[in-house]
Structure 1
């Protein structure tokens, strides 16, 4: 089987180097090169990064967009750049491995997805926890009915950011919630669907960068369930990250830290799924962040080569972004839902 030629558009996303390394080490991929619109960024990476030091740099994006041998491109610009870059890639008729989240402009993102459908190209968002064994196990338990009807989900995914990083993200309404909550919403809407009502508390409590929302909570109401996602930007390291799902027949908790994960706590009212009633600590094989990126890429390749259906349809990618923007104010809640 011939290798798949890929390229990378942008380098300023927090996942950019990891995604580049995944392409460089995947035996099915031939990395054609990277385009970075900022010359200073390109110079810095060529000097400081072993992964970027050995790439071919395109001088103009048309070099990769117009190359018919390049079939897919990783979109790895800043969050403020990514949606425009992704649109260019889709218009060029190429598949996109697009790092999260999908921009601030809901109408623009919808247009890009519609264009991808017209062009017959695949967009896969960079939510790497889809390939995390712990999250996959919880989803399997929920969808099999082992936990019964789910009535609550709690997700905690805080971080610690420098003032410079806060300044960059402060351009986005929602701040740290905009930047990270999509990871948890990707899991929640996969389990529960579209929330009926969204309420968010977006605060600046550190005062370090006043325009940056650094202490945040989103509450997502469903017909018979409620989900809570809390994310802050100043949690002491190492951060405690946790994902909890509660059903009427059982609960499943991905014990912190979930990166790398070590165990799930499963509690059942009655025996099922090969488990006795009661509490169980289920081991989870730990995965590095790079291993998750590698699994993302492997799934992307299988999808664009026709070996599998997408792990998440484009309708899901739209729903995740819609839900995120409802929380950050990019999409107003319908008037009849206002409290």
Structure 2
């Protein structure tokens, strides 16, 4: 476990490296996911890496050929597919792409049922195909630096992680959450749990809490405690927080320091160290890292390098399967 965790942390710190070579071909199935248009824009912006050959979905994108699933997957020179369907359809769609011999970018959280997700993920592994989960925090510069800090021991032994990822959900959002048994923590908290487990691995135990603010059956205010041998991680997801965006945070504390990112995707870091590390001094310091305007570009830059065989994806099937299980436990829907 420790060797695999070190590998994930090491690869995560160099995720943006992509070499030369001709453009790869990619398509998209589904336009219903909340990230669908953003993922399409990211792929189309990386013109030196990807040629977007088509989209199959309920709605199209100007300048992108609209195709059926079968037509898209039938292209022999298609390298990868971004799956951006509804969560109910995402895993089955990913499996069809894998069976067609394509690499997959699968948006989060991947599946409603764990056995379906596990089967899909292991089938890709058996065929030597990559499934890249759509967890964009993996590629955020502040998280890349955090993974480096943990890997190189800047913070000592990790004793706690405290994270919150909330928002003020409107009526449409509440309708989406109400259809998910795991609520907001399943739909949004999966991003945070993936980052927690990149650092600490699979927890020994998970305790889920849900305190809904209304009587409409929506799990809009949740918390989970992930327990480890010498650490705990607390994850909160609150969909009735009017300042949910700016309050999003990720704080890691160890025996020799603390690394805090707030707001979560801002690149703003508060770092406290018991001794100087690299270019960072002993004591407390705050700094701003440059964050790319496109939050998804790093994902598809990394995927191109993986598809070309220039590197392995840092997050393997065992990690993704463990994350999916932990997300379901944290959301109170594990069976």
TM-score (norm 1): 0.88
Is 1:189 aligned to 2:188, yes or no? Answer: no
Selected match of 1:24 from 27, 30, 44: 44
CA distance in 1, matches of 2:205, 2:161: 15
Q: Deviations over 1:122-173 (max 9, x none)?
A: 1000101111111111111111111110100000110122212221232222
Is 1:53 aligned to 2:59, yes or no? Answer: no
- What is the CA distance between 1:284 and its match in structure 2? 1.4
Is 1:243 aligned to 2:250, yes or no? Answer: yes
1:229 aligns to what? 235
TM-score (norm 2): 0.89
Q: Gaps (5+ residues) in structure 2?
A: 1-20
**Worse-superposed segment, 150-159 or 79-88:** 79-88
8 A Cα contact 2:137 2:265, kept in partner:
no
CA distance in 1, matches of 2:125, 2:244: 42
- What is the CA distance between 1:277 and its match in structure 2? 2.3
Selected match of 1:258 from 264, 278, 284: 264
**Worse-superposed segment, 220-229 or 238-247:** 238-247
Size of the alignment, in residue pairs? Answer: 313
1:80 aligns to what? 88
Q: Deviations over 1:100-124 (max 9, x none)?
A: 0021211111111121122221100
Q: Deviations over 1:172-212 (max 9, x none)?
A: 222110101111111101111110110111232144xx121
CA distance in 1, matches of 2:244, 2:232: 28
8 A Cα contact 2:165 2:244, kept in partner:
no
8 A Cα contact 2:182 2:333, kept in partner:
no
8 A Cα contact 1:101 1:321, kept in partner:
yes
8 A Cα contact 2:155 2:257, kept in partner:
yes
Selected match of 1:12 from 20, 27, 32: 32
Is the alpha carbon distance of 1:269 and 1:3 closer, same or farther for their aligned partners in structure 2, counting shifts above 3 Å? closer
Q: Deviations over 1:14-67 (max 9, x none)?
A: 11001101111212211111111x4xxx2xxx5xxxxx1222111x31111122
The higher-RCO structure (CA 8 Å, 6+ apart) is: 2
2:281 aligns to what? 276
1:2 aligns to what? 22
- What is the CA distance between 1:238 and its match in structure 2? 6.2
CA distance in 2, matches of 1:118, 1:92: 14
Selected match of 1:312 from 297, 310, 315: 315
CA distance in 1, matches of 2:182, 2:328: 9
- The alignment's C-alpha RMSD in Å is 1.5
8 A Cα contact 2:184 2:237, kept in partner:
yes
Is 1:177 aligned to 2:197, yes or no? Answer: no
2:102 aligns to what? 94
8 A Cα contact 1:146 1:273, kept in partner:
no
